[in-house]
Structure 1
Amino acid sequence: MGDSSKRVRLDQRVIVDGVLELSRTEPTSRITFKRLGAALGVDATAMYRHFRNKDELTRAALDRLIGAAAEAGREAPGNWRSRIETFLFRLAELSLEHPSIASEGAVIDAAGIGDIAADELILEQLTEAGLAGDALIRAYAAISGFSLSQGAALAQEAMTVEGAARDGSIPWIGSYGVTNLAEYPHVYAHRDALFAISGMDVYRAGVAAILDATERAADGS
Structure 2
Amino acid sequence: MTDIDARRRGRLDQSVIVDAVLALASDERDSRITFKRLGEALGVDATAMYRHFRNKEELTKAALDRLSGMAVEDARAVPGSWRERLERHMIRNAELSLKYPSVAAEWALVDPGGPGDLASDEHILETLSEGGLQGETLLRAYAAVSGFTLAQSAALAQDALNDGSGVRDGSIPWVTGFGGADLGPYPNVREHRDALLAMNGISVYRAGIQAILDSVERWAHEGAGAAAGE
**Deviation at residue 75 of structure 1 after TM alignment:** 1.9
Give me the whole-angstrom Cα distance separating, in 2, the residues matched to 1:4 and 1:76. 31
Contact residue 105 and residue 153 of structure 2 kept, 8 A:
yes
1:118 and 2:120 equivalent?
Answer: yes
Give me the whole-angstrom Cα distance separating, in 1, the residues matched to 2:11 and 2:164. 34
Gaps of 5+ in 2: 224-230
Structure 1, residues 92-135: CA drift from partner, whole Å, max 9, x if none? 00000000010000010010000000110111111111110000
1:125-144 → structure 2 map (5 Å cutoff): 125-144=127-146
Distance 1:4 1:83, change over 3 A: closer
1:205 and 2:207 equivalent?
Answer: yes
1:144-163 → structure 2 map (5 Å cutoff): 144-163=146-165
Indicate the residue corresponding to 2:227 in structure 1: none
Give me the whole-angstrom Cα distance separating, in 2, the residues matched to 1:169 and 1:106. 21
1:3-152 → structure 2 map (5 Å cutoff): 6=8, 8-152=10-154
Contact residue 7 and residue 41 of structure 1 kept, 8 A:
no
Give me the whole-angstrom Cα distance separating, in 2, the residues matched to 1:4 and 1:75. 28
Give me the whole-angstrom Cα distance separating, in 1, the residues matched to 2:177 and 2:209. 25
1:177 and 2:179 equivalent?
Answer: yes
Aligned to 1:215, which of 210, 214, 217?
217
Give me the whole-angstrom Cα distance separating, in 1, the residues matched to 2:70 and 2:126. 17
Structure 1, residues 167-196: CA drift from partner, whole Å, max 9, x if none? 100000111113111231211111111000
The code of the aligned residue for 1:62 comes to L
Distance 1:4 1:216, change over 3 A: closer
Give me the whole-angstrom Cα distance separating, in 2, the residues matched to 1:115 and 1:163. 31
Q: What is the SS of the residue equivalent to 1:163?
A: coil
Give me the whole-angstrom Cα distance separating, in 2, the residues matched to 1:68 and 1:203. 19
Question: Which one is further off, 71-80 or 13-22?
Answer: 71-80
Q: What is the SS of the residue equivalent to 2:184?
A: helix
For these two proteins, the number of residue pairs brought into alignment is 219
Distance 1:4 1:108, change over 3 A: closer
Q: Under a length normalisation based on structure 2, what TM-score does the superposition of the two structures give? A: 0.92
Gaps of 5+ in 1: none
Give me the whole-angstrom Cα distance separating, in 2, the residues matched to 1:190 and 1:112. 43
Q: What is the SS of the residue equivalent to 1:60?
A: helix
Coordinate RMSD, CA, aligned = 1.5
**Deviation at residue 164 of structure 1 after TM alignment:** 3.2
Structure 1, residues 60-102: CA drift from partner, whole Å, max 9, x if none? 0000001100111122211100010111111100000000010
Q: Under a length normalisation based on structure 1, what TM-score does the superposition of the two structures give? A: 0.96
Give me the whole-angstrom Cα distance separating, in 2, the residues matched to 1:162 and 1:38. 25
Identical aligned pairs, as a percentage?
60
Distance 1:215 1:120, change over 3 A: same
**Deviation at residue 22 of structure 1 after TM alignment:** 0.3
The code of the aligned residue for 1:110 comes to P
